[in-house]
Structure 1
């Protein structure tokens, strides 16, 4: 999730002349306040992989269908949990009737198995193994929270430096003695994960499939700093 930090700064930038700050009751019009923003971004290698596998089945008997889905998913969970480097959890589980001429003819069910990890080779091998009974719904990549935090901290520092440089440029262009920082906000971008494989609802295979070909790619992380200065 993107982080949002808002700072309200009432102190003056120390390298410039200091004016007496206005109080809350001061209604004096301000004509020399300027708002602007800067942005810094960087491509970052994705280091997390997220896979969704689907189990879909149908039967004319709802109880028999539920038993089939539950047994198959239980086996898939045991196989996945045998690999401690991979985070495993189940997703949505739905059962619904299939009608023909306004009558229920059979039942259909689907359940998701969600896999996450940073060892792409290990996760790819597991997916190939599970494709004996499950189908790949999607595979996505993203930047891990720890790497995101590190990169965003670096980008925040760069963006704040760029903001101060832009403020100094504005001051010089208006031949002002100095400026006061009225407010500043810092916003981080989403860095959306890159979808690499979708719509792979292949038929279940008779044996373990070869691991899928994977390329993690990159995500663009960005920081936007916007604020207002008051020229002195």
Structure 2
């Protein structure tokens, strides 16, 4: 008797599952509402990057290399006094300069570039001021460091999600409905390099007393958008 009841239950089970699936397919879908919000904060620009270079021209390529390499070596020696500034070689190239006929090389031009990076604006500013006695500045930018950006971005995401929830509550409440999230997406953008206020001075215009280069860090905007859909429940 017991085994017969088990067999009957096993035969009935697929049918019951089929009926349940059909019932779910026939069930009306819930009304939905699309919601989009944005949130923003500002992150301090606490990471500074600069490029300095030395360029010279000479008919003798060997003499040219000695002059440029010697100047760069001197700059590296100066930079060692500023441990908070990271220095690396960012480019080194030699190019021929042709005469009027374009067939013969009259001289050579060589350019060597150093990249500077630091979170200490004061040290970087002072170092650039000293290097400008012999080198030119080709660029200086500021942006939030990776750690700072992540911290502010996480806070902005939390703000945006809270705003999404508040908007969903407003929409559903205005319609006298309850609600639940159907799907949601969070969109962020990376930090942008922003040039601080600083006059670009060439080596020929260097100040004899090696005045620090002016740096105005400023802030960068951090924006987050949240898009999603909620289901409205009776």
User: TM class by shorter-chain length?
Assistant: 0.7 to 0.9
Deviates more, 1:139-148 or 1:63-72: 63-72
> SS of 2:130's equivalent?
helix
- In structure 2, the partner of 1:13 is none
- In structure 2, the partner of 1:12 is none
CA distance in 2, matches of 1:71, 1:213: 27
Q: Is the counterpart of residue 161 in structure 1 residue 154 in structure 2?
A: no
- In structure 2, the partner of 1:183 is 183
TM-score (norm 1): 0.79
Contact 1:96/1:109 (CA < 8 Å) preserved in 2?
yes
> SS of 1:158's equivalent?
helix
CA distance in 2, matches of 1:153, 1:97: 51
- In structure 2, the partner of 1:142 is 143
> SS of 1:94's equivalent?
strand
Q: Deviation per CA, 1:89-135, whole angstroms, max 9, x where unpaired?
A: 11122221112220321111212111111221111111111112211
1:154 CA displacement = 1.2
Q: How many residues align?
A: 208
> SS of 1:92's equivalent?
strand
CA distance in 2, matches of 1:193, 1:47: 11
Contact 1:133/1:204 (CA < 8 Å) preserved in 2?
no
TM-score (norm 2): 0.79
Unaligned runs of 5+ in 1: 1-21
- In structure 1, the partner of 2:12 is none
- In structure 1, the partner of 2:230 is 229
Contact 1:131/1:208 (CA < 8 Å) preserved in 2?
no
Contact 1:138/1:198 (CA < 8 Å) preserved in 2?
no
Contact 2:30/2:232 (CA < 8 Å) preserved in 1?
no
From the two aligned structures, give the one with the greater helix fraction: 2
Inter-CA distance 205–108: structure 2 relative to 1 (3 Å threshold)? same
